[in-house]
Amino acid sequence: MIRIVILGTGNIGSHLVAAFENVSAIEVVQVYNRSEAGLKELRFRGSKTTQLDQLADADCYIIAVPDDVVAQISDNLPFENRFVVHTSGSVSLNELNSKNRKGVFYPLQTFSKNRKVYFNDIPLCLEATNQKDLELLKTMARTISSAVFEIDSEKRKHLHLAAVFVCNFVNHLYHIGHEITENHQLPFSILIPLIKETASKIERDAPMAMQTGPAKRNDTSTMKKHLDLLDIPIQKELYKLLSQAISESYGREKL
């Protein structure tokens, strides 16, 4: 039985609690959150605490808090020589305090609190300073996912950057599509098959080969018409810059 403590009940922490709670080989012995409110919302029948000095003994402490407080929480842990990991894509392993053994357990997914998550497909990107701890992380990871990767901090930061482009920025483009359709009495749902096909195409072929649209065709007349339709200045800027980026990327490839 692997005993773990999860620190933080935000999007990632709460989903990890739910996932590990279903695994017989793992016991979530305690959940920490700095506020009572965060603990109250959480569906978890085990021990809960808002006090770092009351943390239970465990084989692994998973810090799932906002990136900018990971270091602080790890500094404030009242023990040494235990195994402490964080779950952040953009925080280096070395930002954890060296008084404990360090590791990373980064689930590469977008989490929203009220949306059910199926961990089985989610890539879990692992790192640890020693081999024994890495093996423990792998064992833990494999109980909830079949996509387990060993990825060091240097690679992980690039992976996280790529994730921002293909998830966070993509979602904002969905938002613009949503805004345009709503503003013109069109159902946003009419765009869903297109969105899904766009996301499916790149499973088999490189995105570069799947590019379509006016910028790809260098169809300046359509691009001008589109710019005229956009009212919000930053959306115009985005249209221009994204079109230019598409053109440039084809130019670059041709060299």
Provide the terminal-to-terminal Cα distance of the chain, rounded to the nearest Å: 57
Q: Which DSSP category does 52 fall into? A: G
List of residues 6+ apart from 203 with CB closer than 8 A: none
**How many Cβ atoms are within 10 Å of 111's Cβ, its own excluded?**
16
> Binding segment for its own copies among 21-29, 60-68, 79-87, 127-135 (CB under 8 A)?
60-68
Tell me the window of 39-47, 49-57, 126-134, 204-212 that interacts with its own copies (CB under 8 A): 204-212
Contact 23, 145 (CB under 8 A): no
Between 19 and 108, CB nearer to its own copies: 108
125-184: contacts with its own copies (CB under 8 A): 125, 147, 149, 151, 155, 157-178, 180-181, 183-184
Residue by residue, DSSP assigns 112-154 as -TTS---GGGS-EEEEESSHHHHHHHHHHHHTT-S-EEE--HH
CB of 108 to its own copies, least distance (A): 6
In the beta sheet, which residues pair with residue 106? 125
**Structure tokens, 187:** 């159902």
Site for its own copies in 5-24 (CB under 8 A): 11
State which of residues 21, 59, 67, 150 lies at the interface with its own copies (CB under 8 A): 67
Residue 46 CB, nearest approach to its own copies (Å): 27
Stretch that binds its own copies, among 19-27, 57-65, 71-79, 224-232 (CB under 8 A): 224-232
CB of 194 to its own copies, least distance (A): 5
Closest approach of Cβ 29 to its own copies, in Å?
A: 29
